Amino acid sequence: MSTAEPFRIEVPPEALDDLRERLARTRWPGEIPGVGWSYGVQQDYLAELVEYWRADYDWRRHEARLNSFPQFTTVIDDQRVHFLHVRSPEPDAIPLIITHGWPSTVHDFVDVIGPLTDPRAHGGDPADAFHVVAPSLPGFAFSGPTTRPGWGVNRIARAWAELMHRLGYERYGAQGGDFGSIVSPELGRVAPGNVLGVHVNALVNASVASDPADLARLSAAERERAVRNQELWYEHSGYAVQMSTRPQTLAYALNDSPTGQLAWNLESFVDWDPARTEQTPIDRDAILTDVTIFWLTGTAGSAARLYLESADGWGRRPERTAVPTGVANFAGDGAIRGLAELSHEITRWTSFRTGGHFASLQAPDLLVDDIRAFFRTVR
């Protein structure tokens, strides 16, 4: 199948009724008084969010907003791929494929698509316009579930190259955060003649040295930060270890309990105590929309498989790419330029004291500005 079929999200009311009923029947485990978030997601915080999800959260409003963007599905390498495709009104716009991470969906991009595709209508320069393609990662949401093994980073990048080819885009940019910050540079490796530049935020594979010898290449300040990043990763990596080794075992719990699925995803969105984190808080409706999409599509377990499928790349420095690369490093991100330059042709590096790991949700204006500034250098 090389054609794209129009797609529209239409969740039956019975599915929403079932979700609310399950939330109402949550069986709470209790917790040790006074420990806060040190043992994981705090129960009082989660209970308040679950009650809001059950009683007040309006799925139909967010469903309608997603449906305001043109959506399609196609089959690539025997896998259904869902994507938004929003063309710019500007004749000289360049194509840009943007990739989300985990535990995100394309909903994370609803506040950046307008400014990227139509800067004239958002106070920007029309010369900065993009045609935006935003696919759902295989196994995630409306691109899921996966039905065969092997959907790791390289295979996804090759699928993205095929998608852009089918859409008639032979020269394009790539952008991504979190897992998207791994997929987008990989797209530059598999299709270097097509990718004119890569912009990333939340560059997750440039925060810890994959080879101890790489530490010697860093400045003293960068070495200190790399060691601290390693310590932080050890403290917070339990979710990744589980998903990269036994995602199927986890899938039963995630697919059966919406509260459990919310808790599992929430830890990445909130991390530790929201009163102490330096990152900009994420709107609770944005968190719940991502979680609701996973729940309604039954793909929380399928999405978790991405970690196992990509596990062969953990702890290994990516092959260097010559494609020009811009990095936006927001508050809470741990990317180190000295490490990033071992794998990427860094032509722009911007550090921000605000925002956070999910920049399209936490600092959309800053992210859009940085994407525009980078691609001006490669247009």
Q: 184: closest CA among 197, 169, 196, 198?
A: 198
Going by the DSSP 8-state scheme, the letter that residue 114 receives in this structure is: H
Distance between CA 43 and CA 311 in Å, rounded?
31
Cα–Cα distance between 289 and 57 in angstroms, integer?
9
Q: Which amino acid is at 231?
A: E
Structure tokens belonging to residue 43? 């129960």
What DSSP assignment string belongs to 236-279?
A: H-HHHHHHHH-HHHHHHHHHH-HHHHHHHHHHHHH-S-TTT--S
Strands 172-177 and 130-135: unpaired
> DSSP letters along 271-311, please?
-S-TTT--SPPPPHHHHHHHHHHHHHHT-HHHHHHHHHHTG
Q: Residue 329 forms beta bridges with which residues?
A: 351
Residue 28 DSSP label:
-
For residues 281 and 358, the answer to whether their CB atoms sit within 8 Å is: no
Residue of 214, 250, 237 whose CA lies nearest to 340: 214
The contacts of residue 379 (CB under 8 Å, 6+ apart) are 94, 196
Tell me if 325 sits within 8 A of 198, measured CB to CB.
yes
Active site residues: 178, 307, 357
